Amino acid sequence: MIQFPKDFVWGTATSSYQIEGATKEDGRGESIWDRFCKLPGKVRNGENGDVACNHYHLYESDVKLMKSLNIQSYRFSVAWTRIFPKCTEKPNQKGLDFYKRLVDCLLENKISPFLTLNHWDLPQELQDKGGWTNRDVTDYFTEYASYLFQELGDVVHKWGTHNEPMVVSYKGYSSGVSAPGYTDFRLHLKASHHLMLAHGKAVKAFREVGPENGEIGITLNIDPTYPADNTIESENAARIKDGFQNRWFLDPVLKGYYPKDMLELYKQFTDFDYIEEGDLTKIFQPMDFLGLNYYSIATVKQGTAGEFGFLGVEQVKTGRPETFMGWEIEPKGLYDTLLRFKQDYGDIPVYITENGAAYDDKVEEDGSIQDEDRRIYVEDHLKATKKAIDDGANVKGYYLWSLMDNFEWRYGYSKRFGIVHVDYETQKRTPKKTAYWYKQVIEDNGIKEE
Ligand code: FCB
């Protein structure tokens, strides 16, 4: 048996827009993802989150299902638009009530809630003011966060500010594949700064009005980046890609500065006039934990082709097996990342806030889903986690992405990440083989060796 530490937390993760549905109910306002889904060609088959997994109505049975799978903690996000459908008006009680009901239900079932404030579904009204490129949004965010700290702080102890700010700013404002869909790298730089500033302000507010025994952190998507070969050029490309994706967010939040080499490189795009004196101090707030979303690695060489060509970086495939997303599978990347946190960023406790895989699941004649490929993916990443813990990494828990199949952003419903299968016609939930396996892992607090 590969045994995990006694207090290790076993969870699953979801997000509001991907599962809730009920987008027009109980006063919810429009989010940027509602709007983005309507733009032609942006989301596969023009799909959207209007119904999704109908979790808004089915949350009680979903929580019971989690209970039946031994899940100890549930990472979900709040739809900002349910709480502040109009940013200048008072909060919407009915929206808050939904999350109160959800949290009560979790607690009755002895599942500890982990609440993320921003999992991408910004109110459209704020987007109309410029979204994350407008500094004022950092105040709106702090107001929204403070309201929830006060209203839910007695029952929710684990809080996350943003989920993957890099995706919000880069994919939303530069590559354009996520809402709101802009394509200007300068906007990414500005938006990323405001996201981090909003994070810092919210953490500060948490210390002032949040629960005393509460914990708060941020979730970053880290792609460990390796040079394609041992030439200086490839190593330099790896440094740039790591700076762009990882250090640009890790350094301000955990060290209080932007990486020097990236500031130098980005001079060609901006004069950073949006960074005000004292901002970095505001961003750099002591956090209780760091959330890591880990799926895959990046391998790079110098070059001008492809998505990162404008930075002189060319991402290459290495021939490793891939998931249904086309993401290369490399559990060692998770191990390396966990140890890197310890080495470069101190001994901050880490939760793996997302890890999992999409596969082209088949429903068998008997109704079961034998997702052995997903199970192996999870097992191998858990083993890498355990090895990292043994080698000194401070990992406190693991949240499998995802509890159930859901709306996978621009891919619509075509990519299934769930350990529970969802039939979108009937909303029937069927745990897959991985779910039963994970249940046993939780019961054993470890992995049985063959
Ligand atoms: C992450 C997102 C999550 C989900 C997974 C597959 O980037 O945080 O919502 O889409 O990828």
| Whether residue 401 has its Cβ less than 6 Å from ligand 1 | yes
Pocket lining: 409 vs ligand 1, CB cutoff 6 Å: yes
Establish whether residue 74 lines the binding site of ligand 1, counting it when its CB lies within 6 angstroms of any ligand atom: no
Q: Who contacts 119 (Cβ-Cβ below 8 Å, separation ≥6)? A: 15, 16, 17, 18, 77, 163
173 lines ligand 1 (CB under 6 A): no
| Ranges of each domain in the chain | 2-220+282-293+343-447
Rounded-to-integer distance, Cα 437 and Cα 378, Å: 10
Instruction: Copy the structure tokens of residue 121.
Output: 């579904």
Q: What ligand 1 atom has the least distance to the C-alpha of 164?
A: 8
15 Cβ inside 6 Å of ligand 1: yes
- Is there a contact between 82 and 26 (Cβ–Cβ < 8 Å)? yes
Alpha helices in 243-330 (DSSP H): 248-255, 260-266, 279-283
Pocket test residue of 120, 409, 410, 411 for ligand 1, highest count of atoms within 8 A of CB: 409
The pLDDT assigned to 450 comes to 74
- Quote the ligand 1 centre to 170 CA distance (angstroms): 14
Q: What share of the chain is helix, strand, coil (3-state, %, to 5)?
A: 45, 15, 40
* SS3 state at 158: strand
**Is 329 strand, coil or helix?**
coil
- The finding on whether 417 has its CB within 6 A of some atom of ligand 1 is yes
Q: How far is CA 317 from CA 54, 59, 312, 333, 350, in A?
A: 37, 40, 17, 15, 29
Question: pLDDT (tens digit, 0 to 9) for every residue of the chain, 450 residues total?
Answer: 999 999 999 999 999 999 999 999 999 999 999 999 999 999 999 999 999 999 999 999 999 999 999 999 999 999 999 999 999 899 999 999 999 999 999 999 999 999 999 999 999 999 999 999 999 999 999 999 999 999 999 999 999 999 999 999 999 999 999 999 999 999 999 999 999 999 999 999 999 999 999 999 999 999 999 999 999 999 999 999 999 999 999 999 999 999 999 999 999 999 999 999 999 999 999 999 999 999 999 999 999 999 999 999 999 999 999 999 999 999 999 999 999 999 999 999 999 999 999 999 999 999 999 999 999 999 999 999 999 999 999 999 999 999 999 999 999 999 999 999 999 999 999 999 999 999 999 999 999 987
Q: Which of 115, 20, 4, 62 is nearest to 353 (CA)?
A: 115
Distance 159 CA to ligand 1 centre (A): 18
For the CA of 163, the nearest atom of ligand 1: 8
Asked whether the beta carbons of 9 and 73 are under 8 A apart, the reply is yes
Pocket test for ligand 1, best of 353, 408, 410 (most atoms within 8 A of CB): 408
Alpha carbon of 398 to ligand 1 centroid (Å): 15
Q: How remote is the CA of residue 274 from the centroid of ligand 1, in Å?
A: 29
CA of 296 to the centre of ligand 1 (A): 12
Q: Whose CA is nearest to atom 10 of ligand 1?
A: 408
Tokens, residue 215: 């914990």
Helices and strands (H, E) in the chain, number of each type = 17, 15
Q: What is the 220 CA–ligand 1 centroid distance (Å)?
A: 11
- Residues 121, 123, 127, 128, CA torsion sign: positive
Active site members: 164, 354
Q: Does residue 12 line the site of ligand 1, with CB under 6 A? A: no
Tell me which of 33, 161, 220, 354 to substitute to probe ligand 1's pocket, judged by most ligand atoms within 8 Å of the beta carbon: 354
What is the fold of 2-220+282-293+343-447? Answer: TIM Barrel (3.20.20)
Ligand 1 center from residue 156 Cα (angstroms): 22
Ligand 1 midpoint to CA 121 (Å) = 13
pLDDT attached to residue 183: 98
Assess whether the C-beta atom of 223 lies below 6 angstroms from ligand 1: no
Number of the ligand 1 atom closest to the C-alpha atom of 167: 7
- Pocket perturbation via mutation, ligand 1, pick of 164, 171, 415, 419 by most ligand atoms within 8 A of CB: 164
Q: What is the pTM of this model?
A: 0.98
**164 in contact with ligand 1, CB cutoff 6 A:** yes
β-pairing, 2-3 vs 446-447, is antiparallel
Amino acid at 368: S
d(CA 20, CA 117): 15
CA dist list (Å): 295 to 20, 261, 334, 431: 24, 26, 8, 22
Give the DSSP letter of residue 358: -
Closest atom of ligand 1 to 18 CA is 9
Q: Which atom of ligand 1 is nearest to the CA of 409?
A: 10
pLDDT of residue 336: 98
CA gap 41, 441 in Å, rounded: 41
